[in-house]
Amino acid sequence: MDNPSQSPQPELKGFCTYVVIIHIRDATHTDDFPTVSGVFMDFKEAVRCLRNQREQIEDGFIPPEDAAARRQHPFRNRIGHLRRSDGTAIGWGYSWQRKGSEYTNRTWIVKTTLWRCDDEVHDVGELTKVEMEEMEAQGDVDYVAFGLGGPPNGKFDEASKDFVFPGEGPSKDYSETSTHGP
């Protein structure tokens, strides 16, 4: 089929859905198979599920270990547009590495069109302005200093909602200049 936004069969009708996907890799889960946490027709519910999944996997704010780790994973605590190292889009979600692990863990949302009576997935879509605003309003995982350890060489910056390391200025938007790879 040349155009994935057209129905594979004329009698089928597509509907927009938001799929929440989890991909955790560690010593016990080294396979490369993501799992689907839920499929939603309501975007707000999908974002709520995404954040809940992220907080169940890693409870609360994930501080970076150093500046390089923060640049590699700027979307540990805020939802962002995740991309593979080759630049292809994954979806909108969270990405982090556990301390001492070589694996990247992710949970994300994919906006897609599903066709009734057909199990094929078609047409991965961009989020609308309203969907982006909803994601930004609900997606941040707050840093609470009391009882949390942070990196010994970093200071939390309220303006950027992230850590600043020696040699860096405060309130820089690190998500603009970072690269996100697996």
Q: Please list the pLDDT of the chain residue by residue as tens digits (182 residues).
A: 455 555 555 556 677 889 999 988 766 666 667 888 888 988 999 999 999 999 998 888 998 888 888 888 999 999 999 988 888 888 999 999 877 777 888 999 998 877 655 444 445 567 788 888 887 877 777 777 666 777 878 888 878 778 888 888 765 544 443 333 33
* Distance separating alpha carbons of residues 133 and 37, to the nearest angstrom: 22
Structure tokens at 115: 């066709």
Structural domain boundaries of the chain?
14-146
* Distance separating alpha carbons of residues 24 and 94, to the nearest angstrom: 11
Structure tokens at 61: 């704010």
In the chain, the amino acid numbered 51 is: R
Neighbours of 29 (CB within 10 A): 13
